Chain A
Amino acid sequence: MSTVAEMPSQKYEILPKTSEAGEPIGELLEISMGPHHPSTHGVFRMDVVLDGEKVVKLKPVFGYLHRNHEKIAENISYLSSMPYTDRLDYFCSMTNNWAYALAVEKLAGLAVPERAEYIRVIMAELTRLQNHTCLIGFFVQDMGALGTPLMYAFREREKILDLFESVSGARMMCNYLRFGGVRCDVTPDWLAQAKQLVDGYGKFLDEFEALFTENEILLARTQGVGVLSRELAVNASITGPLLRAAGVNYDVRKVDKYGIYSRFEFKVPLGEHGDIYDRYMIRILEMRESLKILQQALRDIPSGPVMDPKAKLRGFRPKAGEAYGRIESPKGELGFYLISDGSANPYRYRVRPPSFINLTILEDMCLGHRIADTVIILGSVDIVLGEVDR
């Protein structure tokens, strides 16, 4: 079975291609979208069977970037995997670092100093801002608004990356968190710059929204397209903005209250219809909530150490056992599952990548829509192939 058309059709019946009078009207067309297609956000392929322009079957094919991240991590020490986690979702290296650090801290029973917790929250929420901003830029580009909105998004993203660079030395591959804290402290100057950025971001969002939220083309292309029902979203383990757009109130920041998220006041925006427009709106609203968290964190950040003095980076050997740590990354629930056998390398290291699992329902969302809609449906899922393929 090398092609989709040969595979057994289980859930969907392919309609006979005949008119009511019994004359044949055409045949199904199987096309391979990708792996080098501008709308697939990386090397990703969709095997699509089309009836005219309508999608009757769709299978995602990936693995082109597979380098077996998990196997690499099982052959190196715990700390050496930290820079590798940056490369999973290369837009959000800070949250990847955090998920991994959280799992190891759970495994080894390490505490995190107060100031480091605040720095982590600031970094994670800045990451969420730039991820959602860029995603909306890419997503309207998929709808044909070439260039300009994406450049606005990248302009703002670059300001956030400048902040990351000044604290960690790298724009995207930050490698900033450590087990039991963060690598180095932030300066008062940096905090003032971050405050300035956060204060100005609301205005940028207003401008951004003025471009899109009531835009006629965006409304026509997104409302009622790619609807994901609540039941299917839960059953298919969908997480992140996709799940909340379907109306399920589940945010790991609220449920697990990892780090110090219980101290901040913020709301979890929920969608009603589960269509693409809801997903767009959820991301805008989440950014506004992130700004609230950032303002509270930048106001309350205490002084003190940023590393647990008991945590040692060299010769780190946690006791035998296993732990699963998860956080709410911008794309959904990012989890790390670690089994230790008492040696310096993890016995089992597993990444639960949100965008990989969110692709499960891509076919269900695309069926019956036109081929042009699959492009924006895929755009609204928000995938990064570094994480899907690992």
Chain B
Amino acid sequence: METPEQIKSRLETAVPDAKIEILPNDCPVGERSLLVDPVRILAVAKFLRDDPQLRLDYCSNVTGVDWPAAEVTEKIKVKQVVNGVENEIEEVKKTVRPGFLEVVYHLYSMELKHGPVVLRQRTTNRDAEAPAISLTPVWRGCEFQEREVFDLFGIRLEGHPDLRRILMWDGFKGFPMRRDYVAPDDFEYEPTPHDEVLEQAQKHYPPEVKA
């Protein structure tokens, strides 16, 4: 099995304009992942599937991850001249990293029995139905899992043949797996005829009677 660096260098020759980045993983036995720009991810996925050395024909796991906007602290060394003496002072610089959503794919090879290669793509923002690219045309196994990503994370995966809600019901509003989702007190609340009748009745009475 090739290292992520080897895969990256071969990918860059095969798909020249793909922007690929290797993300670190601090877990001791965990896999580092390849972050691919959504614009070229379909070509990258096809290469990974069809390349004779990789043959990643089996997409095991597809899931979303929500990363809300966060404050990132960086320590920068700044040179300062105090009373004619040059000193190096550490300054903490705070920047706000904009939020984004991520789709993660775990790829294995059934033919060559190796893996996993972790593939990621990111949306540019956390809007409702932020767009990304569906890989169902490459691996059929993504079909239901990508529907689930759409349903629970609200990532619109373009190119998916049948993008509908899968676990929540059709009329449901909101995306429950986002970090900032707040569940309503009562999921099954429906305005009863009583509410409507009451509202209409209240409109008939002048305000002083209401009080």
Per a CB cutoff under 8 Å, which of B113, B143, B145, B181 touches A255?
Answer: B113
CA distance A238 to B26 in the complex (A): 31
Partner of A337, one of B28, B29, B61, B141: B61
* A237 with B167, Cβ < 8 A, contacts A321-B27, A322-B27 known: no
A-B contact count (CB 8 A): 107
Which residues of B have CB within 8 Å of A70?
152, 177
Find out whether the CB atom of B65 lies under 8 angstroms from the CB atom of A357. Answer: no
Q: Are B166 and A357 in contact (CB under 8 A)?
A: no
| Known contacts A323-B29, A348-B65, A350-B63; A360/B167 CB under 8 A | no
Question: B106 touches which one: A68, A71, A319, A337 (CB < 8 A)?
Answer: A337
Q: Within 8 Å CB of B161, what residues of A?
A: 10
Is A130 part of the binding interface, using a Cβ–Cβ cutoff of 8 Å?
A: no
In the bound assembly, the distance between CA atoms of A361 and B139 in angstroms comes to 12
**Bitwise interface map of A from 300 to 330 toward B, beta carbon under 8 Å scored 1, else 0:** 0000000000000000001111111010000
- Assess the B141–A232 pair: CB atoms within 8 A: no
Per the bound structure, the CA–CA distance linking A350 and B66 in Å amounts to 12
- In chain A, positions 103-148 with a C-beta closer than 8 Å to chain B are 106-107, 109
What 1/0 mask marks residues of chain B from 103 to 140 whose CB sits below 8 Å from any chain A CB? 01010001001001010000000000000000000011
Q: State in angstroms the CA–CA spacing of A234 and B57 once bound together.
A: 7
**B144 on the A face (CB < 8 A):** yes
Report how many residues on chain B are interfacial, defined by Cβ distance under 8 Å. 39
Bound Cα distance from A255 to B30, whole angstroms: 17
A90 at the interface (CB under 8 A from B): no
Q: Pick the contact of A237 from B116, B141, B152, B164 — CB < 8 Å?
A: B141
- Closest chain B residue, CB of each to CB of A243: B110
Instruction: Give the interface SS of chain B, mostly helix, strand, loop or mixed.
Output: loop
A residues in contact with B164, CB < 8 Å: 1
A319 touches B26 (CB 8 A): yes
B residues in contact with A255, CB < 8 Å: 113
Q: For A7, what are the chain B residues with a Cβ–Cβ distance below 8 Å?
A: 162
* In the bound complex, CA of A197 to CA of B106 (Å): 39
**Contact residue among A71, A232, A248, A390 (Cβ-Cβ distance under 8 Å from B110):** A248
Residues of A within 8 A of B57 (CB): 234-235
Q: Which residues of B contact A152 (CB under 8 A)?
A: none
Q: Tell me whether A237 and B25 are in contact (CB under 8 A).
A: no
Task: Find chain B residues with CB under 8 A from A275 CB.
Answer: none
Most buried by A among B26, B27, B28, B63: B27
Known: A63-B167, A335-B61, A348-B65. A238 touches B141 (CB 8 A): yes
Interface residue count for A (Cβ, 8 Å)? 45
Whole-angstrom distance from the CB of A321 to the nearest CB of chain B? Answer: 3
Q: Tell me the complex Cα distance, A62–B166, Å.
A: 7
- CB–CB B27/A106 < 8 A: yes
Contact with A along B20-32 (1 / 0, CB 8 A): 0000011111110
Residue B169 is within 8 A (CB to CB) of chain A in the complex: yes
Q: Any chain B CB within 8 A of the CB of A2? A: yes
Q: How far is the CA of A390 from the CA of B166 in the complex (A)?
A: 12
Which A residues touch B113, using CB under 8 A?
250, 255
Query: Known: A71-B176, A337-B106. Contact between A63 and B168, CB under 8 A?
Result: yes
CA–CA, A109 to B181, complex, Å? Answer: 32
**A37 smallest CB distance to B (angstroms):** 19
Does B34 interact with chain A (Cβ within 8 Å)? Answer: no
Residues of chain A within 8 A of B30, CB atoms compared: 106-107, 321-324
The reply to whether A237 and B176 form a contact with Cβ atoms under 8 Å apart is no
Q: Is the CB of B141 within 8 A of A339?
A: no
Q: Could you tell me if B167 and A62 are in contact, using CB atoms closer than 8 angstroms?
A: yes
B150 at interface by CB-CB < 8 Å: no
Residues of B near A348 (CB, < 8 A) are 63, 65
> Could you tell me which residues of chain A, from 45 to 71, have a CB within 8 Å of some CB in chain B?
62-63, 66, 68, 70-71
Chain A residues, CB < 8 A from B104 = 337
Q: Are B167 and A324 in contact (CB under 8 A)?
A: no
Q: Which residue of B63, B116, B140, B181 is within 8 Å of A360 (Cβ)?
A: B140
User: Are B29 and A359 in contact (CB-based, < 8 A)?
Assistant: no
* A 323-367 binary contact with B (CB < 8 Å = 1; else 0): 110100000010101011000000010101000110111000000
Q: Which of B65, B116, B166, B177 contacts A68 (CB 8 A)?
A: B177
Chain B interfacial positions (CB closer than 8 Å to A): 25-31, 57-61, 63, 65, 104, 106, 110, 113, 116, 118, 139-145, 152, 161-162, 164, 166-170, 176-177, 181
Q: Could you list 11 A-B pairs, sorted by A, with CB under 8 Å?
A: A63-B169, A68-B176, A234-B110, A235-B141, A237-B59, A250-B113, A318-B27, A335-B61, A352-B60, A357-B145, A360-B141
- A residues with a Cβ closer than 8 A to B are 1-2, 7, 10, 62-63, 66, 68, 70-71, 106-107, 109, 232, 234-238, 248, 250, 255, 318-324, 326, 333, 335, 337, 339-340, 348, 350, 352, 356-357, 359-361, 389-390
Given A236-B139, A237-B140, A337-B106: 12 more A-B contacts, CB < 8 Å: A234-B58, A238-B141, A250-B110, A320-B26, A320-B27, A324-B116, A324-B118, A348-B65, A352-B63, A356-B145, A359-B144, A360-B141
